[in-house]
């Protein structure tokens, strides 16, 4: 649910600064999220009113970070960031952000989740097989590939509600490597080290998708 929330925030704010999906599509471009991290201090309670915010960091040449916060009054419930790029539909190559970002845009200096994204190995050959997931129509977004949040749902689907409760998840980090499409069968693998669990979502050709 938190991942859906931050993606919705990014979509709405992108539209408000004329960097939404429709505007980019006119130029043959689209947004791609390569990494997302969410840190959970406390999950929102049922019917609790929250304030969710998002703001972009000043972009680099081809990558940019977008930050998120979820608060109850002044209490920080969750914070996160996503690394984005804009990609050319024809070539599949990243597009220079300076050419599409609004000229003279001001940026909020606040930073959350300050530490770098983790380096997660894509090699799950020694991992434990924990399940399979078939990509369904409900997982597909407007770009006709598996939506970023659907990977989180697929990973969590390998565990029971009780197992997820026992994990007491305080941080989730997703790295997106290869696009997946409707009808594909994905294999789920797990590596565990102390209080960290890595989940590999692997395509039938053996390549790790996320």
Predicted confidence band of residue 101 (pLDDT cuts 50, 70, 90): confident
Rg (CA), the chain: 18
**Residue 25 scores a pLDDT above 90:** no
Specify whether the CB–CB gap between 147 and 139 falls below 8 A. Answer: yes
User: Which tops the pLDDT comparison, 19 or 176?
Assistant: 176
Largest CA distance in the chain: 50
* pLDDT exceeds 90 at position 35: yes
32 — pLDDT class (breaks 50, 70, 90) = confident
Is the pLDDT reported for residue 117 higher than 90? yes
- Which DSSP symbol is given to 94? B
pLDDT tens digits for range 130-144: 999 999 999 998 778
pLDDT band at 38 (very low <50, low <70, confident <90, very high): very high
Query: Could you give the count of Cα atoms lying within 13 Å of 125 in the half-sphere of its Cβ?
Result: 3
Band the pLDDT of 87: cuts 50, 70, 90.
confident
The rounded mean pLDDT for the chain is: 92
* Model confidence, pTM: 0.89
The SS3 call for residue 97 is helix
Count the neighbouring beta carbons within 10 Å of the beta carbon of residue 207. 10
178-197: per-residue pLDDT in tens? Answer: 999 999 999 999 999 888 99
**Percentage of the chain exceeding pLDDT 90:** 68
Report the 10 Å Cβ neighbour count for 69.
20
| CB within 8 Å of 79: residues ≥ 6 apart | 38, 39, 41, 67, 68, 69, 70, 112, 113
Phi/psi-derived region of residue 107, left when phi > 0, alpha when psi is between -120 and 50, beta in every other case: beta
Task: Tell me the percentage of the chain whose pLDDT exceeds 70.
Answer: 100
Cα separation, 85 vs 24, in Å, equals: 12
DSSP one-letter code for 146: B
């Amino acid at each position: 649910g938190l991942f859906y929330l931050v993606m919705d925030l990014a979509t709405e704010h992108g539209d408000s600064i004329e960097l939404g999906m429709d505007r980019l599509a006119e130029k043959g471009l689209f947004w791609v999220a390569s990494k997302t991290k969410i840190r959970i201090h406390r999950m929102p309670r049922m019917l609790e009113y929250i304030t969710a915010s998002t703001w972009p960091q000043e972009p680099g040449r081809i990558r940019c970070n977008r930050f998120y916060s979820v608060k109850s009054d002044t209490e920080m419930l969750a914070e996160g960031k996503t690394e984005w790029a804009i990609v050319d539909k024809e070539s599949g190559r990243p597009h220079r952000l300076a050419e599409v970002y609004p000229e003279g845009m001001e940026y909020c200096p606040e930073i959350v989740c300050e530490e770098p994204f983790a380096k997660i190995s894509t090699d799950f050959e020694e991992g434990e097989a924990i399940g399979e997931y078939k990509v369904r129509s409900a997982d597909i977004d407007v770009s006709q590939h598996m939506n970023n949040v659907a990977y989180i749902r697929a990973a969590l689907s390998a565990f029971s509600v009780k197992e997820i409760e026992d994990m007491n998840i305080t941080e989730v980090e997703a790295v997106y490597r290869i696009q997946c499409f409707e009808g594909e069968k994905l294999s789920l693998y797990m590596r565990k080290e102390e209080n960290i669990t890595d989940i590999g979502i692997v395509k039938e050709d053996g390549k790790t998708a996320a």
